[in-house]
Amino acid sequence: MVRSGTLVEIHPEPMLGTHASVSPLAIGRQTLRLPLFQGGMGVRISARRLAGAVARSGGLGIVATAALGFRSGGKGRIEAAGEKETRAEVEEAVALAKGGVVGVNCMVALREFDRVVPAACDAGARVIVSGAGLPFSLPALVAGHPEVALVPIVSSLRAAELIARRWERRHGRLPDAIVVEDPDTAGGHLGDRAENIGVGGRDHYGTVRAIKEMFLRDWQVRVPVIAAGGVWGREEFLHALEQGADGVQMATRFVVTEECDADRRFKEAYLTARPEDIGLIRSPVGMPGRALRANVERIAAADRDRKFTCPASCLEECSYRDAGEGFCLVEALSRAQAGDVETGLVFCGTNAWRAERIGTVREVFEEIFGVEAAAAAAF
């Protein structure tokens, strides 16, 4: 039997000034009081505190499993996203959520993907969001947890079709929702070639609508489709709904909150960023990434000067580990998370320059949904 998602109808105009028309978003067996996903940001940018606060506010709080157990300067072989660290972080986030829905972001590119997913489910994660590759094996990994919703991240209709057909044929189920990321605006690793990003002609919301239509046409089911990339506040949220999305995913905006798990200096890097500071870099994983790019040469120099060697072997593909090219991604991200923004890598979306102050998660929800709606949705 194929499990289908449930499409919710949210009417943008009436929600202004009232919470009565904001419908919950059903994702498989899970229900969000408000249709907002917090994006996964690895190496402890979105960990227990941020995920717990977003879930407590009525959205989907996400613990990113990438490199939870890694600390800058580590030596020897270290588990970059170990089962123990994942289990502990998710359990803490669930406790902080006070009944809200907590999920995890698990990258297919991580070597420990097959072990981390079941560990997260055992610890209380109720949604698995997965990108950085096609998560063909994901349904098998959660076979003992039918309550857990599965949400792939894609950037194209073709990727969504491939995942849906493989899952239906081999596992008898479809995704419970789909996150459609816009490489032209999203932060971190991006699901397209660098030469295709930011050159115009991409129809992000056309892809959102096409994926919804594909599920209706081919399977006669309504699967919620979540728009990711470029969403900062209420204006972008309402635009996404008007264009056919059932909800949005936000990551960059949540960095400049008190609850974000990064060091304050990481957050302050957003406050001083200008639009021209944000751009594409070549990541050691073989994908383009969007970050604050002024210090990329200093990042690589820091690893060369210390003769830093791979401490984790965390990724399936890594040009630094295999050929000594560029820099150690997990070390650079961990340095930044701990506050070293001079030689650390600061991922961000195109809207990072819009940050003006460090606020709270609750304030973000109040701005997007209104004070009454945010209060009614909170746990």
pLDDT digits (tens, 9 = 90+) for 43-59: 899 999 999 999 999 99
Q: What is the mean pLDDT of the chain?
A: 88
Instruction: Give the residue from 262, 280, 255 showing the smallest Cα distance to 356.
Output: 255
pLDDT score recorded for residue 250: 97
Lowest mean pLDDT among 160-164, 198-202, 271-275: 198-202
Name which residue leads in pLDDT, 321 or 158.
158
pLDDT score recorded for residue 125: 97
| Residue 317 scores a pLDDT above 80 | no
Position 8 confidence tier, pLDDT thresholds 50, 70, 90: very low
65: its two tokens: 């499993």
Dist. CA 40–CA 37, nearest whole Å: 9
Position 30 confidence tier, pLDDT thresholds 50, 70, 90: very high
Strands 101-105 and 36-38: unpaired
223-250: pLDDT as tens digits: 999 999 999 999 999 999 999 999 999 9
Position 338 confidence tier, pLDDT thresholds 50, 70, 90: very high
pLDDT score recorded for residue 12: 40
Q: What type of residue sits at position 46? A: S
Dist. CA 189–CA 183, nearest whole Å: 9
Q: Do 206 and 156 contact (CB within 8 A), yes or no?
A: no
Position 307 confidence tier, pLDDT thresholds 50, 70, 90: low
The three-state (H, E, C) secondary structure of the chain, written as one string: CCCCCCCCCCCHHHHCCCCCCCCCEEECCEEECCCEEECCCCCCCCCHHHHHHHHHCCCEEEEECCCCCCCCCCCCCCCCCCHHHHHHHHHHHHHHHCCCEEEEECCCCECCHHHHHHHHHHHCCCEEEECCCCCCCHHHHCCCCCCCEEEEEECCHHHHHHHHHHHHHHHCCCCCCEEEECCCCCCEECCCCHHHCCCCCCCHHHHHHHHHHHHHHHHCCCCCEEEECCCCCHHHHHHHHHCCCCEEEECHHHHCECCCCCCHHHHHHHHCCCHHHEEEEECCCCCEEEEECCCHHHHHHHHHHCCCCCCCCCECCCHHHHHCCCCCHHHHHHHHHCCCCCCCCEECCCCHHHCCCCECHHHHHHHHHCHHHHHHHCC
Dist. CA 107–CA 65, nearest whole Å: 8
| Residue 38 scores a pLDDT above 70 | yes
pLDDT score recorded for residue 199: 85
What domains lie within the chain, and their CATH numbers? 12-263+357-377 (3.20.20.70), 266-347 (no CATH)
pLDDT score recorded for residue 315: 62
364: its two tokens: 């973000």
Q: Do 258 and 267 contact (CB within 8 A), yes or no?
A: no
Dist. CA 236–CA 114, nearest whole Å: 35
| Residue 70 scores a pLDDT above 80 | no
Q: What type of residue sits at position 26? A: A
Name which residue leads in pLDDT, 81 or 306.
306
166-225: pLDDT as tens digits: 999 999 999 999 999 999 999 998 888 888 888 888 899 999 999 999 999 999 999 999
| Residue 296 scores a pLDDT above 90 | no
Name which residue leads in pLDDT, 107 or 324.
107
pLDDT score recorded for residue 21: 55
Calculate helix-pair angle for 361-369, 48-56, nearest 10 degrees: 40
**Other CB atoms closer than 10 Å to residue 264's CB: what's the count?**
11
Q: Do 66 and 44 contact (CB within 8 A), yes or no?
A: no
pLDDT score recorded for residue 194: 84
pLDDT score recorded for residue 13: 39
**Other CB atoms closer than 10 Å to residue 244's CB: what's the count?**
16
